């Protein structure tokens, strides 16, 4: 669908800013920041879901290879082991997140479970086949990845209801609540919470107003490569970012990936090979030394492993997401190295998740 043109262009008296006082106009940067926060949160979540979903499909192909037939018409469709995704809280952010995941993460509508106090507001998603209702416990018990997008005021009540039913990674997008407090309320350890920050506002700096707040989030990720790039936590060009995400997010994502591989009973070699291919986009022509190695992960077990972590030489133990801190592990150091190969491949793979949509539509992509 073509974008709707702004009919107020060159008509200042009809524009939003026309009715604002001088003091109110100084707060306009908050609109750009709010929109940039939402785009960043949705893009990062969509990337993580996309790589976990991709990995699950490849694991199925490893364990249950499909026999090739002479005719493509007789070829069996590969089995599907989808990542079931749940979202608790479907206000503005929750709805945007649901639409972004459906668009970019290869999540089918029937694989998405939403819980909100007002499910009647989700009729558009329900018509697509998304499970919509108000049953937080059922969503927790069903999914492989849970997002919490409720208001800060509602979070203690939600946490009290679901804390005994959590069994998967919990991705928290609740503002104004520190990570330590979230862990205390949920009584749970496998939590991902992106840490957002923004530069101090300069009245003479118009960069905050350069963000296109009139564009839909999926439209930005689909068509605006520069804005899409700055949502990546490891993006090197920080100057153009209104909102920045703590780089530790990338390490959280990678270790969440390895925990899933362990749950799926992949050995160390298989897990590392799959991570290099799916998370970092490595192919057969890439230098193996550019990716993660088994030895690097083994050396981080004492630092990042859970309290009862023991390696039997075959499988990785579970990694404790609470123990991640900037620059402590070998994996973290490599990911955050400014000109490192691992960082470069992560950024390229991140963009590829959204460029893939353009490729399907025949739109030229520009991945460098």
pLDDT digits (tens, 9 = 90+) for 313-359: 789 999 999 888 655 899 999 999 999 999 999 999 999 999 875 54
The counts of H helices and E strands in the chain are: 15, 8
pLDDT of residue 19: 66
Cα 162 from chain centroid (whole Å): 22
Blockwise average pLDDT, block size 10, the chain, 368 residues: 56 64 68 87 98 96 74 66 96 96 96 96 95 97 97 96 96 94 96 89 58 81 88 86 91 97 94 96 90 92 70 83 79 92 96 73 42
Report d(CA 304, CA 309) in Å as an integer: 9
Q: Do the beta carbons of residue 140 and residue 166 sit within 8 Å?
A: yes
Query: For the segment 279-304, what is each residue's pLDDT rounded down to a tens digit?
Result: 999 988 888 889 999 999 998 888 88
DSSP output for 130-199: -EEES-HHHHHHH-SEEEE---TTTHHHHHHHHTTS--S-EEE--TT--HHHHHHHHT-S-EE---EEEP
For 173, residues 6+ apart whose C-beta sits below 8 A from its C-beta are: 41, 45, 93, 97, 147, 148, 149, 193, 194
Domains, the chain, in order of start with CATH, read 28-64+78-201+211-246 (3.40.50.720), 248-358 (no CATH)
Residue among 61, 130, 72 nearest 99 (CA): 130
């Amino acid at each position: 669908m073509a974008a709707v043109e702004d009919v107020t262009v060159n008509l200042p008296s009809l524009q939003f800013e026309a009715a604002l006082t001088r003091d109110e106009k100084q707060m306009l940067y908050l609109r750009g920041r709010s929109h940039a926060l939402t785009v960043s949160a949705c893009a990062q979540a969509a990337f993580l879901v996309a790589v976990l979903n991709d990995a699950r499909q490849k694991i199925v192909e490893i364990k249950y290879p499909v026999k090739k037939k002479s005719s493509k018409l007789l070829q069996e469709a590969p089995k599907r082991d989808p990542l079931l995704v749940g979202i608790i809280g479907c206000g503005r952010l929750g709805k945007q997140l649901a639409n972004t995941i459906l668009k970019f993460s290869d999540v089918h509508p029937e694989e998405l479970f939403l819980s909100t106090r007002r499910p009647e507001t989700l009729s558009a998603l329900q018509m697509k086949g998304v499970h919509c209702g108000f049953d937080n416990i059922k969503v927790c018990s069903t999914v492989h990845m849970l997002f919490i997008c409720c208001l800060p005021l509602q979070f203690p009540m939600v946490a009290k209801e679901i804390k005994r039913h959590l069994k998967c990674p919990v991705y928290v997008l609740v503002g104004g609540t520190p990570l330590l407090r979230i862990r205390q309320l949920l009584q749970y350890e496998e939590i991902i919470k992106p840490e957002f920050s923004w530069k101090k506002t300069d009245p003479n700096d118009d960069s905050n107003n350069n963000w296109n707040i009139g564009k839909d989030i999926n439209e930005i990720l689909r068509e605006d490569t520069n804005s899409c790039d700055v949502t990546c936590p490891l993006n090197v060009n920080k100057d153009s970012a209104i909102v920045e995400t703590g780089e530790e997010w990338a390490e959280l994502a990678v270790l969440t990936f390895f925990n899933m591989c362990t749950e799926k009973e992949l050995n160390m070699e298989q897990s590392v090979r799959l991570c290099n291919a799916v998370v970092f986009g490595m192919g057969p022509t890439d230098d193996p030394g550019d990716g993660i190695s088994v030895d690097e992960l083994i050396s981080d077990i004492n630092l990042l492993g859970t309290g009862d972590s023991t390696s039997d030489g075959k499988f990785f133990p579970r990694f404790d997401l609470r123990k991640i801190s900037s620059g402590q592990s070998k994996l973290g150091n490599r990911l955050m190295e400014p000109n490192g190969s691992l960082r470069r491949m992560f950024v390229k793979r991140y963009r590829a998740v959204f460029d893939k949509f353009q490729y399907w539509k025949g739109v030229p992509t520009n991945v460098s």
